Amino acid sequence: MAGKQFDVVGIGNAIVDVIAHVEDAFIDANDLNKGIMTLIDADRASTLYSVMPPAIEASGGSAANTMAGVASFGGSVAYVGKVRRDQLGEVFRHDIRAIGVHYEQELAEDGLPTARCLILVTPDAERTMNTFLGISSLLEPEDVREELVAAGRVIYCEGYLWDVDSAKAAIRKAMEIGKANGAKVALTLSDTFCVDRHRSEFLQLVEHYVDIVFANEAEICSLYETEDVEEALLKVRGHAEIACVTRSARGSVVLTADEVVTVPSWSTGEVVDTTGAGDLYAAGFLHGYTAGKDLFTSGWYGSVAAGECIGHTGPRPECNLAELVATIAVPARV
């Protein structure tokens, strides 16, 4: 794989986040599904926005956050996702390019507006996401340029894309190009309800196709329809070449056929907003992996990136992750 232009090529829903801090009563009063991602239509987005407190806008999107993270570590990355030529689309394009991600997609001249995710962060730092996909839902196979994807050593795909048929076709095209060009294919399961919606396809992918899978404990349990994490870990270990399972404050566990590597978490001491934590864990791991680090060190990079992310409002790094990780001693392996 040496000599390829990009360490990672990511594909996902291109979204601008609209983030407000609320009390738990707001979640209840507005019938929101705390802690998970719910798809909403334009009318619901408008209604929910009208009752939200003042917010800030920040570029988001799960795979886009991950690519931003890898770039912040100094990795070479590209991203595929669709935004409109509107103010939020320009914000999205600016932010992802400014952090060093190759993003060549033209802004769409017509169609739905750029996707936005209305995020309510409660005092426990948990985020509740309500996504209006807008033009992101119109991602289609022709948006996936073969030469671009073929230049990636890892093709990183977001489970959320399965929610829309044309996007699913686009991601399958990306995976196939990757496989045909000797890339590793990575998939994040994204969200327990996303797993619920697409369990049979995700199982098929994890068991027979994907090389690296990212999930948290709830998602991996949902995939195998068990409440027993150990059982789920045992199952995934026999399938994907590498499975990275995050466990919030307890860090993560990285599993291969030969190894089970336990990785501690890291934090600045402040936990403000968990939006993007899983995305940034994947960023750290993928950077370590593509830089030739061992599984423990790669997982540790994930812990540092996730820890930085939850220390502030917004889903992307606010500092240079390469510099940050260099200042923190890698802990002894347990």
Binding positions for its own copies, rule: CB under 8 A: 18, 21, 49-50, 52-59, 68, 86-88, 91, 94-96, 98-99, 113-114, 314, 316, 318
The torsion angles phi and psi of 37, rounded to 5 degrees, stand at: -105, 125
Tell me if 192 sits within 8 A of 222, measured CB to CB.
yes
Q: Smallest distance from the beta carbon of 172 to its own copies, in angstroms? A: 30
**242, β-bridge pairs:** 212
* Cβ distance to its own copies smaller for residue 19 or 37: 19
* Cβ distance to its own copies smaller for residue 54 or 292: 54
Q: State whether residue 19 is helix, strand or coil.
A: strand
The torsion angles phi and psi of 85, rounded to 5 degrees, stand at: -75, 80
Per-residue CA distances from 12 to 85, 155, 250, 281, 305 (Å): 18, 11, 27, 16, 20
Q: State whether residue 111 is helix, strand or coil.
A: coil
Angle in degrees, CA 278, 140, 245, rounded to 5: 20
Tell me if 209 sits within 8 A of 186, measured CB to CB.
no
Q: Smallest distance from the beta carbon of 151 to its own copies, in angstroms? A: 23
Q: Smallest distance from the beta carbon of 16 to its own copies, in angstroms? A: 8
Distance CA 120, CA 129 (A): 7
* Cβ distance to its own copies smaller for residue 21 or 172: 21
Q: Smallest distance from the beta carbon of 320 to its own copies, in angstroms? A: 10
* Cβ distance to its own copies smaller for residue 55 or 169: 55
* Cβ distance to its own copies smaller for residue 52 or 149: 52
Q: Smallest distance from the beta carbon of 17 to its own copies, in angstroms? A: 10
